[in-house]
Amino acid sequence: MTMLRPELRTIADWISAGSRILDLGCGDGTLLAHLRDSRQVSGYGLEIDQNKIVQAIARGVNVIQTDLDAGLTEFESNSFDYVVMSQTLQAVHYPDRLLEEMLRVGREGIITFPNFGHWSCRLQLLAGHMPVTPSLPNTWYNTPNIHLCTLRDFEALCTEKAFHILERTVVDRAHRTSLPMRLLPNLMGEVALYRFRRR
C-alpha cells in the first residue's frame, strides 16, 4: 500500500468505507488509490497536469483531465458522498464558486489549504514583504497561489454561504498539532483541514 502524506491520512480518516468521492486536483492519485485499497471507496480524480494524469492512470485510478476553473458542470448534483480538495483552493480563479460546486455535487466537502494567518506570514508582511514560507514557498510574481486566506476568512465565507463546518484540524507542516495551535489556530496553524456541508 502506498505511503500517504500525513495530510491525506487525516482526510482518509474522515471518509467512511464504501463511499463515493470526487478528488479535485487529485495529483498522482495517491489518495484515491489508498481509499480504494483500504476502504472500498470508488470515484474519480480531476487533474490538469499531464504528468500527474499519467501517474494516476498507472495507479489504476479513474482520472479525468479537467480545468477546475471551468467548474464541475460535467457532474450531476448529489452524485458523490465527499468532494475532496487538497491544497488547491488557493490556486483556483473562483474559490467561492468552486466551494459551492463542491457541495452541489457532493454531500460533504473536505478541504485543506495553507493558513495565510500563520505568524510567520504576518511577521513578513509587518516587515513589508509578501510572505515566503515553507508551506508557501513561491515568490509573489511566480506563485500559483492567487487566493490565499486565513482560517478566519474561510470560516467567514462558510457562514456567508451557510456552510456548516463539521470538523476542523489545524496542524504544522509535519502534520503535528500542539496546544498553542489548538488555542490560537489562526496564528499558530500552518495547514487547515475542514470537513463541511450545507446547512
Residues 63-82 as x/- pattern, contact with another protein by CB under 8 A: xxx--------xxx--x---
Among 8, 32, 33, 56, binds another protein (CB under 8 A): 56
Q: Closest approach of Cβ 88 to another protein, in Å?
A: 19
Q: 20 or 147, CB closer to another protein?
A: 20
Residue 20: CB partners within 8 Å, gap ≥ 6? Answer: 41, 42, 43, 79, 80, 81, 82
Size of the site for another protein (CB under 8 A): 19
Q: How many Å apart are CA 79 and CA 76, to the nearest integer?
A: 6
Contact window for another protein (CB under 8 A) among 10-18, 56-64, 83-91, 125-133: 56-64
Among 1, 17, 50, 160, binds another protein (CB under 8 A): 50
Q: Closest approach of Cβ 105 to another protein, in Å?
A: 10
Regarding 60 and contact with another protein (CB under 8 A), the answer is: yes
Strand 163-171 relative to strand 191-198: parallel, antiparallel, unpaired? antiparallel
The cell numbers describing 87, all together, are 491544497
Candidates 67, 80, 79, 69; CA nearest to 35 is: 80
- Return the DSSP state at 98: H
The cell numbers describing 123, all together, are 511577521
Q: Residue type at 15? A: I
Q: By CB under 8 A, name the binding residues for another protein.
A: 20, 42, 44, 50, 53-54, 56-58, 60-65, 74-76, 79
